Structure 1
Amino acid sequence: MDTLQTSRRGFLKSSAGSALMLSFALPLAPKRALAESVSNTFAPSAWLRITPDSRVTVLCGSSEMGQGVLTAIPMLVAEELDADWARVGVEQAPADAAFNNPLFGMQGTGGSTTVRAHWTPLRQAGAAAREMLVAAAAELWKVDAAMLRTERGHVIGPGGKKLAYGALVEHASRQPVPSAPKLKDSKNFKILGKPTRRIDSAAKVNGTAQFGIDTHVEGLLVAVMARAPAAGAKLKSSDEAAARAVKGVSHVINLDNGVAVLASGFWAAKKGRAALNAQWDLGAGAELSTAKVSSMLSEAASNAGAVAVDSGNLKDAAANSSAQLSATYEVPYLAHACMEPLNCTAWVREGAATVWLGTQGQGPTQQIVAQIAGVPIDKVQVHTSLLGGGFGRRFAHDFTISATLLSKLSGHPVKLIYEREDDMAAGFYRPASVVKFEGALDDKGRVSLLRADIGCPSIMAGSGFMKLPASGVDAMAVEGLADHHYEIPNQRIAYGQAEPGPQVWFWRSVGHSQNVFFLESFVDEMAAAAKADPLQFRLQMLSKQPRLRAVLELAASKAGWGKSAAKGIFRGIAVAESFGSYVAEVAEVSIAKDGTPKVHRVVAAVDCGLTVNPLTITHQIESAICYGLSAALYGQITYKEGRVEQGNFHDYPVLRMSEMPKVEVHILPSSEAPGGIGEPGTPPIAPAVTNAIFAATGVRVRKLPIDIGLLKKA
């Protein structure tokens, strides 16, 4: 039995104070064919290989967390390759700069960027391979390559003769890799834009799919931690002898963020942690409460001085207005509530380290593990498993750092598992936020003035790998508001930073998740003040925004806007542009006698540019609506005497199947560049629902989650 003590800080001194402040300098993949690296294989780039049996394997450098990248990435390659989709497979790529996300400059998944970032480079990879296969066939047949074409994994020549790609791998490997292969016109796509079943579905259904928590290696120990309940908390006491006395417990290890118990299995580790009876001194953090958070954010909004938008003349606009209104909106901290508990398996050995985990950041993970383990970066292997939910949470590295330290100190492979309660209390929340609005209407009922002062913690300042710009404006705290598309002549959008204490982090749709709720609700308030239809009110402010107008009009039309709904059903509408895509949603809502809202139907219209897989778009909009509805109806992380009050789904509810509304998704045909799709469906749902509640009750919901007591009184 061992009791070990150390500090992560000691291992991370070289990281400039943060495990995430790292550089990325791995070599790019070779630009010539890589046939020599795999016997009898045509591998013209890091992204794909073709074997003599004509199997095409595409490597995916992005993380699969339910958003469909293990299908989308192969579709991009297969389209330009003219592959036989039935013979296309996919593998998870290793951590390597060859698989960097071009929009991030590192290997990572987030911001709804996978398709947007890889749309051109992966199509180029497929097109280059196709041209090399054609050149190989032209050599063999001694004909001009211009006489040949490709179709479903074959090169076809004069008279209809053809060769399967597999028969050409040796000759194709000797061809130079084209630097500028010709890409198809979208009107000729045969795979892209077509509804396609997901490659990973079968394994998830039959149980063979491997998530991080499924990892097992010889000699594995399982760890759980008694974590510090708040930043800055100090361990007062613990009974390590009692923990070590639990059958199966082998180590008790003190880290600077908690005490870990290592055992032969999860339940022994859990019992050992309970026996520790760890007691904490929260220090000044014991004063943190939800009321204090709200007060700090409100004060920050009142004093918001970092100006993101300043146009026109607010003073004159107010003086010449025919109506003025103001409102304060607020949202709480939110947890990510991933279905698969956070986990990481690490094995640090002499001169090498390996980790198995679901991560959204393979590149940073490799760098961090190398630093902690004290090994060269090329000796770190990162095995990316399927993610049982990510939503931004698995871009953080707290669990990876701790697992790697525990393996290094114990000398064993270690699987660290967070129980849901551990993650709920671990920080890494969507920021709580307050906004104070002022608006004005001119004598024609048009919006002449908009002022929004935001009080919010800074993700940029607290992330460890970004910093606030000189302007003091956190782009993530104001996105969805400062960059809205409404034509309002006089505006001021400003940010006030407040840091109550909890770590804030990326959450599905980031700042759009709260700011679109704020803006689309206040726009509805102004429409009501103008006695205008909410749809027409929006459209008249979007005369130069055809894509926003199109999704608004389509969603409204499909929902029957302007026509009578069923008795007791009321409609609300909202629209937003985020991550390069445009989404409008109409929610149909009823209110029970006890004030409980029920969302019966949501009609969504989406313009995400050129599409890869329409089935994925539909699924992602449905998922985003479910996620956003959970937050609007139930989601909140609250504090009392410095501690988080929520721990699991009994007190942090998510939408149940019986509560899920019928969702209709309508995709606008588009020739625009691809936008993201994993996140854009989330921002409009909360305001669409609360605007419907206003239509039903006359009560304006300005604070989430929705207070049914407020609606009961109506």
Structure 2
Amino acid sequence: MNAITPTRRGFLQSSGLVLGMALPLGQAARAAGQTTGLPFAPNAFVRVGTDNLVTVIIKHVEFGQGPATGLATLVADEMDADWGQIRVEMAPANDPLYKNLAFGTMGTGGSSAISNSWIQMRTAGASARAMLVEAAAKRWGVPAASIKVSKGVVSSGARKARFGELAADAAQLKPPEKPVLKTPDQFTLIGKDTPKVDSVAKTNGTAMFTMDIQRPGMVHTAIAHPPAFGGTVKSVIDTAALAVPGVLGVKTIPQGVVVYARDGYAARKGAAALDVTWDLSKAEKRTSDELYAQFAEASEQPGKQVEKIGDTAAALKGAGKKLEAVYQFPYLAHAPMEPLDAVIEMNGDRLHVWMGSQFQVGELGAICGTLGVPMEKAALHEQYAGGSFGRRATPTMEFAVEAAAAFKAWGKGPVKHVWTRENDIRGGRYRPLAVHTIRGGLDPAGNIVAWDQVVAAQSFFKNTPMEGMGIRNGVDDALTEGIAESYKFANQYIGQHIMEVGVPTLWWRSVGNTHTAYAVETFIDELLVMGGKDPVAGRLALMEDPRTRAVLAKAAEIAGWGKKPPAGRARGVAAWKSFGSYVAQVAEVSKGADGLPKVHKVWCAVDCGIAVNPNVIRAQMESGIGYGLGHALYSEVELGEGGIVKQSNFDSYRSLRISEMPEVEVAIIASDKNPTGVGEPGLPPIAPAVANAWRKLTGKAVRRLPFTVGGKA
């Protein structure tokens, strides 16, 4: 998620939790990470300097999905600030002040950054505005109601003052208990294409990522992990590694063997020279093919019931036409551009950590626990992160523990612990391998009268501290999410099997929707065509949710569905709801020279509630389409003989190239509903839309991803 499934998160209902604390100036400033030069810090999220700059504290990690811009927009609009005066800073690890209201702790995922902060951040901005207005009213001796605020200027008649001029006076006032929020017709920035707050810094190189952090006396690391999951170090011969110029030492930690060096190149070269004997006696040794076979066998049985309507077995038996399909989905790596990394330093009795953390309090706590340092003597310096797609948020915080272990083993100063691309691709925490078995039946009129779907997959919640949150009554919603909500039939059964495998898995951008949407949307497309129905009209007739119907109708409209595509091309459609948002896509496809689909254009319609920043929404739809398409066409992590991962870098774990990115047209449905997520919902429909077009073009139904394995024509 950027993915963490929001299923059963125990959503908190109190939207004004932080703001009600009414922090005094000094305390609020310290909580926000600033102690001097701030005359006005009305709450944990807003500060105004005498230089007229408004700094917005961002409680979510920014790894390209846009929360820094979105959350700042909410504050700026309610303050009536000028967008040019807005700056952002990342929040420190502090649950009481900065927890995700959907999770109960600091964290980014489940496409929840805007949705959980919608009222909270607007209230922060409205509170600051009210105090600035009150300060001006007292200074000028006029009623507060006579004062106007526009683009960072407070005015009453001929009197004018910028925020910075009023900051010191406003700081002496008590925050309002219930500041009045704007109505949608009063928004000035929300709903507009404001530029992202970090675009310039990321363009000119001034934005700081963990990879950029340098500390005096810092050493660099590289780590060798066991070649199979569950393996451990048996013995190490480090003579050749220590002979590499720049290598300073070699240490064994529970996670593997760490090489310390003056720079990253020497560390990596030293790690390559290690001679390690591994104990693989307890490792997971099954191959991907063996797992597919075992999962498929399980999916033939009903499994744990998730949904049951009517009598599916009887309906299937009496159906005039039947269809059965087995879908196979591989392990997928997240492969963010910046691999996992952290810098750790002890300065006296104070611990400092620099990283782009997705679970700030959890990871800092894990590091502190490993090092025996009290949390109150530790600080997390949140950095920009170069992508995640869910990878930076793990239930057991194991990378943070590994980085702390590497630091502790060195014991001589600051350590920058960085994974190589090979560590990343072979390091586990994959999108789970999954198998779906689906059976459907039609009546003589071509109507769907039976739907039976069973999923066999791993659970990334099981045997973790989050198991009780993700699995209830033996059901993990992430395995089958979205299936029961997509279409309802008179006779329907959905079941699941939680499979036990020693490969670490994790939420991956859009979590279970990555495979559930594909299985459902390709299978229903086949059933509709088998029943003589148009894929769009047939879906619309089955859909009960008006918002799902609206996005499908809009995508079909802008694509010109029903009109004949150019020669040699075909169009496919898919629609899916995830993370509270509704997305439909139409893909236009031809056969490429490599025998794979060449996607020329994608028409996308999205309903995500009130559009805070249409520019970011379009970007995230495009991003989800590109990321999802590349993985559907090319990507797979395979377990070979002995359970050893075959892929290691982008030469063997293929991504979409810029020349392969289709043209994308995005239509955003106008809405008065509260905002929902956009980081993940753009991904689930793309693969089935392409597969449906491909089946129309070639007659080949693709039931094994990626297309390089199951879809070549």
| TM-score relative to the length of structure 1 | 0.93
Q: Kindly state the Cα deviation for residue 48 of structure 1 after the two structures are TM-superposed.
A: 0.8
Report the Cα distance in structure 1 between the residues aligned to 2:533 and 2:301, rounded to whole angstroms.
33
The answer to whether the 8 Å contact 1:348/1:407 transfers is no
Alignment of 1:566-585 (within 5 A): 566-585=566-585
SS in 1 for 2:471: coil
Give the drift of 1:318.
2.8
Give the letter aligned to residue 612 of structure 2: V
* Aligned-pair CA distance for 1:451: 1.1
Contact (CA 8 Å) 1:251, 1:263: kept in 2 or not? yes
Counterpart residue number, 1:92: 90
Contact 1:353 1:369 in 2 (8 A): no
Structure 2 Cα separation of the partners of residues 395 and 304 of structure 1:
32
Following superposition, the deviation at residue 627 of structure 1 comes to: 0.4
Q: Which residues of 2 match residues 406-417 of structure 1 at below 5 A?
A: 406-411=406-411, 412-417=413-418
Aligned to 1:607: 607
C-alpha displacement at 1:116, in angstroms?
Answer: 0.5
C-alpha displacement of 1:653: 0.6
Q: Which one is further off, 700-709 or 70-79?
A: 700-709
Structure 2 counterpart of 1:437, one-letter code: I
One-letter amino acid matched to 2:431: R
1:528 CA drift (Å) = 1.6
SS of residue in 1 equivalent to 2:489? coil
Aligned residue identity for 1:206? N
SS of structure 2 residue aligned to 1:459: coil
Q: Distance in 2 between matches of 1:452 and 1:149?
A: 59
Q: Which amino acid aligns with 1:132?
A: M
Distance 1:592 1:407, change over 3 A: closer
Q: What is the rounded CA distance, in whole Å, between the counterparts of 2:587 and 2:322 in structure 1?
A: 28
3-state SS of 2:524 partner: helix
Match of 1:447 in 2: 448
1:32 aligns with 2:30: no
SS in 1 for 2:436: strand
Match of residue 165 from structure 2: 167
- SS state at 2:60 partner: coil
Q: Map 1:552-701; keep pairs closer than 5 Å.
A: 552-592=552-592, 595-641=595-641, 642-701=643-702
| Range with bigger deviation, 75-84 or 164-173 | 164-173
CA contact (8 A) 1:70 1:199 kept: yes
Distance verdict in 2 for CA 1:488–1:93, change over 3 Å: same
Decide whether aligned partners of structure 1 residues 57 and 546 sit closer, same or farther in structure 2, where only a CA change above 3 A counts. Answer: same
Q: What TM-score do the two structures reach when normalised by structure 2?
A: 0.93
Q: In the aligned structure 2, how far is the partner of 1:578 from the partner of 1:333?
A: 21
Distance of 1:143 and 1:593 partners within structure 2: 74
- The Cα shift of 1:299 comes to 2.4
Give the 5 Å matches for 1:269-280.
Answer: 269-280=267-278
Residue type at the aligned position of 1:177: P
Letter in 2 for 1:151: S
C-alpha spacing 1:503/1:462, structure 2 compared with 1 (3 Å): farther
Per the alignment, residue 420 of structure 1 pairs with 421
Deviations 1:349-372 (A, max 9, x none): 553311111221111112112211
Q: CA deviation at 1:250?
A: 1.9
Equivalent position of 2:109 in the other structure = 110
Of 295, 305, 308, which aligns to 2:306?
A: 308
8 Å CA contact 1:304, 1:497 repeated in 2: no
Asked if residue 127 in structure 1 is aligned to residue 126 in structure 2, the reply is yes
Cα distance in 2 for residues equivalent to 1:604 and 1:260:
46
RMSD: 1.8
Q: For structure 2, which runs of at least 5 residues remain unmatched after alignment?
A: 1-16, 30-35
Residue aligned with 1:333, SS: coil
Are 2:149 and 1:150 equivalent residues in the alignment? Answer: yes
Give CA deviations for 1:517-572 in whole Å, capped at 9, x if unaligned: 01001110111210111001100001x31111111111111111100110001000
**What is aligned with 1:528?**
529
Deviation, structure 1 residue 226:
1.0
Please give the secondary structure, in 2, of the residue aligned with 1:394. coil
Report the alpha carbon displacement of residue 707 of structure 1 after superposing the two structures with TM.
Answer: 3.9
2:703, 2:710 within 8 Å by CA — same for their partners in 1? no
Distance 1:162 1:95, change over 3 A: same
Q: Which amino acid aligns with 1:270?
A: R
Task: Output the CA distance in 2 between the equivalents of 1:89 and 1:434.
Answer: 47
Alpha-carbon distance, 1:79 to partner: 0.5
Q: Which amino acid aligns with 1:502?
A: V
Describe the superposition over 1:244-286 as per-residue Cα deviations: whole angstroms up to 9, x where unpaired: 2323222211112211111111122122212212232322536
Equivalent pair of 1:581/1:607 in contact (CA under 8 Å): yes
Q: Deviations over 1:621-668 (max 9, x none)?
A: 111001001111011000112100000111111001111111111111
* Residue of structure 2 in register with 1:101 after alignment: 100
2:557 counterpart letter in structure 1: S
The one of 211, 214, 229 equivalent to 1:213 is: 211
Which residue number corresponds to residue 71 of structure 1? 69
Task: State the 1:92 CA deviation.
Answer: 1.4
Q: Which residue of 2 aligns with 1:495?
A: 496
* Local SS of the residue matching 1:644: coil
The equivalent residue for 2:547 is 547
Residue in structure 2 matched with residue 435 of structure 1 by the alignment: 436
Structure 1 Cα separation of the partners of residues 649 and 231 of structure 2: 22
Residue in structure 2 matching 1:379, options 362, 377, 384: 377
Kindly indicate whether the alpha-carbon contact (under 8 Å) linking 2:702 and 2:710 is maintained by their aligned counterparts in 1: no
Secondary structure at the aligned position of 1:345 is classed as strand
Give the drift of 1:690: 0.3
Which secondary structure does the structure 2 equivalent of 1:496 belong to?
Answer: strand
Which residue identity does 1:600 align to in structure 2? H
Change (3 A) 1:219 1:711: closer
In structure 1, give the amino acid aligned to 2:133: V
Aligned AA (2:259): V
Aligned equivalents of 1:685 and 1:595: distance in 2?
19
Alpha-carbon contact 1:243-1:272 (below 8 Å) kept? yes
Show CA shifts across 1:679-709 (max 9, x none).
Answer: 0000000000000001101111111001478
8 Å CA contact retained: 2:92, 2:381: yes
Q: Which residue matches 1:477?
A: 479
1:313-392 equivalences under 5 Å are 313-348=311-346, 350-392=348-390
The AA in structure 1 aligned to 2:82 is D
Which moved further from structure 2: 474-483 or 257-266?
474-483
Task: Note the alpha carbon deviations across 1:284-341, whole angstroms, 9 max, x for none.
Answer: 5363211111022112322342111112222343344332221111110000011112
CA distance in structure 1 between the aligned counterparts of 2:472 and 2:147, rounded to whole angstroms: 57
Residue pair 1:573, 1:585 contacting (<8 A) in 2 also: yes
Q: Distance in 2 between matches of 1:541 and 1:237?
A: 61
- Deviation larger for 144-153 or 196-205: 144-153
CA contact (8 A) 2:509 2:683 kept: yes
Which stretch of structure 1 is more off in the superposition, 129-138 or 557-566? 129-138
Question: What is the aligned residue count?
Answer: 683
Give the letter for the 1:487 counterpart: K
Is the 8 Å Cα contact of residues 33 and 42 (structure 1) preserved in structure 2? no
Letter in structure 1 aligned against 2:674: A
Q: Distance in 2 between matches of 1:166 and 1:435?
A: 60
- Partners of 2:168 and 2:673 in 1: how far apart? 38
Q: Secondary structure at the match of 2:484?
A: coil
